[in-house]
Amino acid sequence: MKVQGINNTVSFKANKMPLNEAKYLNSRLLQAQTADIFCHTSTDEDAFSSAVMMYEYLADMGKTPRILCSDKKENLGFDKKQFNIITYENFPDDTKKADIALCLDFSQKERIRGKALDYLEEFSDDDILCMDHHYTETPVTDNCVIIEEPHKNAPDIKTAKNMYIDSSAKSATSVIFRFFEALGIKMSKRQQLAAYCGMMDDMNKNGYVKINNGGVVSTNKKLDEDKNAKEVYDNLDQSLSEEEKRDVICHLDVFANLSEEEKNFRKRLYDRIQLNDNSKMAYVVIAPDDCEWINLGGDNNITSKILRDFRVRVLEHKNPDEFLDEDEIERLDKVQMAAVFYPDYKTGRYRISVHSNKDYAGQMIEYNRDNYCKNLTAGGHKNRAGGSMAGLDEEKCRMWVDNFVNSSEKIAYRV
């Protein structure tokens, strides 16, 4: 890979990665001959795209990388042969440990499990590196730098660490973009496409951009006011052709090609909304034996995005909305958190995914862990989080739901 400055008209001022941190991570990576790139379980576009970016870099530097991820063929560029992929669903018992482990888009061990977690724990803390954008109080190792606030210039980090988390970034691919920027490395076209895909998918989740039906992208004031996100967005937007960007956006626009069954499921979600006692949490419970969910194939790329779109609409409860009438919007007037509980048949786990305002989701998870389940598997962003429990026993799942609902009522929402 050719090392040079990035040639564009964007003036980079926001949230640069500290040069000593970038150099340290790079030296550790290049000292190793083999590298295992870990993505979180239920690998999404941002995680897999981040892995692709680093896979190509390491391969070009003469290293032997592997990508460890969920078996998500829907992710852009998923190709087991091209990227030497090991899937968590078929994780070999005799997997030989690489020289280094690189965790991307996650920094908590709770984000992976089973054989993959057992394998990660075979690495010493000193041999685990990380680049992430999720704030956490329980990183994989204490050898960690966490950037929580936007900054105009790279912060002065006296001692570089194995784990670098910029929780002001809007995607893991953006953090890796800053890694290459700090080192003066020009990304290849494939890396740019991967960065654009991961960035757009996560920014769409967070409301910085909107992918409308038909693959039309619209930005808003929220993006314009976030200098870090805007700089990365502008660079990639200028670096890719309209056709290249359109191909990525069409890949992400699942709603344009829904089946009738998927369309009906999407509409019926709004009829199933429940509210907690203080009306600040709106939620839907999909039981382990829900026939419609089973017929749709359970948790997959399409249903995941249907549920995400539902949570965002319910949380925003804007008028007009094609799925919410005026009475429903009025009913949701106090809602500050939207959640869906659902079974994941591939892993045999029951899950929650949640969007909120003012760190409500993070507070709910903390209260649940402190008062109901000290070993709760949950985390993510403070306003966009998830969790899971092992097993699909109906009674245990119902109790698990009740713990979250009760927790949502016990905490004081910060206005």
- The label of the residue with tokens 């004031």 reads 221
Q: Count other Cβ atoms within 10 Å, centred on residue 295.
A: 10
At residue 213, the pLDDT reads 64
Side chain identity at 189, as an amino acid letter?
K
- What distance in Å separates the CA atoms of residue 209 and residue 216, rounded to the nearest whole number? 10
**HSE toward the beta carbon, residue 130, CA cutoff 13 A:** 32
Residues 6+ apart with CB under 8 A from 38: 68, 69, 101, 102, 103, 104, 106, 112, 116, 120
DSSP sequence for 211-274: EETTTEEEE-HHHHT-HHHHHHHHHHHHHS-HHHHHHHHHHH-GGGG--HHHHHHHHHGGGG-E
Return the H-helix or E-strand segment holding 352.
strand 349-356
How does pLDDT run along the chain (415 residues), one tens digit per residue? 332 222 233 333 457 899 999 999 999 999 999 999 999 998 999 999 999 999 999 999 999 999 999 998 889 999 988 999 999 999 999 999 999 999 999 999 889 988 999 999 999 999 999 999 998 888 998 899 988 776 666 666 889 999 999 988 999 999 999 999 999 999 999 999 999 999 999 998 888 998 876 667 889 888 988 888 999 999 999 999 999 999 999 888 888 889 999 999 999 999 999 999 999 999 999 999 999 999 999 998 889 989 999 999 999 999 889 999 999 999 999 999 999 999 999 889 999 999 999 999 999 999 999 999 999 999 888 899 999 999 999 999 999 999 999 999 998 755 4
Identify the CA nearest to 103 among candidates 155, 165, 30, 193.
165
Q: Distance between the two ends of the chain, CA-based, in angstroms? A: 49
The domains of the chain, with CATH numbers, are 19-188 (3.90.1640.10), 258-410 (3.10.310.30)
Evaluate whether 273 touches 280 at the Cβ level (below 8 Å).
no
Evaluate whether 46 touches 198 at the Cβ level (below 8 Å).
yes
